[in-house]
Amino acid sequence: MKKFYLFTLAVLLALPAGIQAQEFATGALHVVLGTYGRVRVSAPDVSVRQVDRLSFLLAKSRTEVFDYQEDAEGIAAPATVTPATWGNHEINVGIDNSYSNRPPVVSAVVSAYGWTDAAYTISKFAVTNNGTEAFDAIPGFEMIPINEGTYGNETLVYDAANSLFYSYKGASYVGFKSLSHPLTSVKLFDWYDAFYTDTLFYDYMTTGTFTDSVVTGGDGGVAVAGAAAVPFPAGATLNMYIAIAFGQTKADMLEQMSDAVAAYNALVGVKEEMTAANTFALQQNYPNPFNPSTRISFYLEESAETSLRIYDVLGNEVAVLVNGQMEKGYHEAEFDASKLSSGMYVYRLVSGQNVAVKKMSLLK
């Protein structure tokens, strides 16, 4: 089939170019991020692929749509971020539209995040308008399933009650949910070799309807989703977050998706709340209790010499996460306690004349 041929040809042509992908395993999920911004998922381990490709779409008009197949070019090699800025695993890659040099003129940093033992992953598509004019951008994404490691004969379903769609076959349920931009259109259909044109992508992204379900044939299916248009000034960056969750039953998948939504809300909700308040603040670490790492967020009302230090219950300093001049605004720090014993720890933030202290629990 053609998509297998295209994938094989792309690999052969790219072999001399260096790093072609980065990956991580959570213990329940395996995620691979390719050179051109493709997110691929296997579960419960690397031996069984479940998602062949998740990739973002951005439409400017019916003849100007950025997509993976026709436009994407790698501009920064896939990389692993250590420590992760969110969750326990992070990989990213930089892409733009230079393969086609057709509008819209955009670049993007595609990131995938994972959490230890979690059967979900969250992808962030940070898309920048590199053109000279503002336009109304329609964000969306494209997904090709490969449930249980083989193309074809899966069922694609839109679940209105949970604002997501999923693909299933046998004991493989994979859900997809836009966390940042509510979807206004979802088109589910049988794969065919000419669907990746700007006009078709645009039409599928803007139908204003949701396909209830489709039972796919031997070549498998495709999902194309779109959200409402948003203003996109020149030089601005649009952040789109997509969650993928896996389960052996629909109930298992929905439970994992609920955890993904909670992780996203914890990240975005705290940041928005602290930024709106515009005052010095130290948040409770997340998750808490934790093992082995946790994230600490704080807000500085002015630029100042700042330190964030960790102490055990006896007052011994066990880690220094921040120590130096920091700018006003929202910040996050990762605390890796993999070499420490279980117990209560204290973290202390000092910035200028401001001091805040909180407790956290490490459970191993």
Of 273, 293, 264, 285, the closest CA to residue 117 belongs to: 293
Half-sphere exposure of 72 (CA within 13 A, CB side): 23
pLDDT at residue 194, rounded to an integer: 87
Q: Could you tell me which residue, 165 or 329, shows the higher pLDDT?
A: 165
Q: Give pLDDT, residue 250.
A: 98
DSSP state, residue 286 = B
Query: What is the percent of the chain with per-residue pLDDT over 90, rounded to a whole number?
Result: 79
Domain with CATH 2.60.40.1930 in the chain: 278-362
Whole-number pLDDT of residue 126: 93
Whether the predicted pLDDT of 84 surpasses 90: no
Least confident of 40-49, 136-145, 268-277: 268-277
Query: pTM value?
Result: 0.75
Predicted pLDDT of residue 291: 87
Q: In which residue are the tokens 């933030």 written?
A: 349
Residue type, 58: L
DSSP state of 229: -
Predicted local distance difference test score (pLDDT) of residue 231: 93
pLDDT tens digits, 190-202: 999 889 899 999 9
**How far apart, in Å, are the Cα atoms of 284 and each of 277, 309, 311, 328, 359?**
16, 14, 15, 19, 8
Candidate from 13-27, 85-99, 158-172, 284-298 with smallest mean pLDDT: 13-27
All CATH 2.70.98.10 domain ranges of the chain, comma separated, are 2-273
Class of domain 2-273: mainly beta
The reported pLDDT for the residue numbered 330 is: 85
Segment 155-183 shows an average pLDDT of: 97
User: Contact, 186 vs 158, CB < 8 A?
Assistant: yes
First CA to last CA distance, the chain: 48
pLDDT in tens, 303-361: 999 999 999 989 999 999 999 999 998 888 889 899 999 999 999 999 999 999 999 99
pLDDT of residue 259: 94
Instruction: Kindly tell me if the per-residue pLDDT of 18 is higher than 80.
Output: no
Q: Tell me the pLDDT band of 273, cut-offs 50, 70 and 90.
A: low
Q: How many CA atoms lie within 13 A of 135 on its CB side?
A: 19
pLDDT in tens, 255-264: 999 999 999 9
Most confident listed range (170-184, 291-305, 324-338): 170-184
What mean pLDDT is predicted for residues 170-194? Answer: 96
Q: Does domain 278-362 have CATH number 2.60.40.1930?
A: yes
Confidence of residue 13 (pLDDT cuts 50, 70, 90): very low
Cβ-in-10-Å burial (0-12, 13-18, 19+) of 265 comes to exposed
Q: What is the pLDDT of residues 90-146, one digit of tens each?
A: 999 999 999 999 999 999 999 999 999 999 999 999 999 999 999 999 999 999 999
Q: Rounded CA gap, 41 and 49, in Å?
A: 6
| Per-residue model confidence (pLDDT) at position 279 | 85
Amino acid identity, position 101 = N
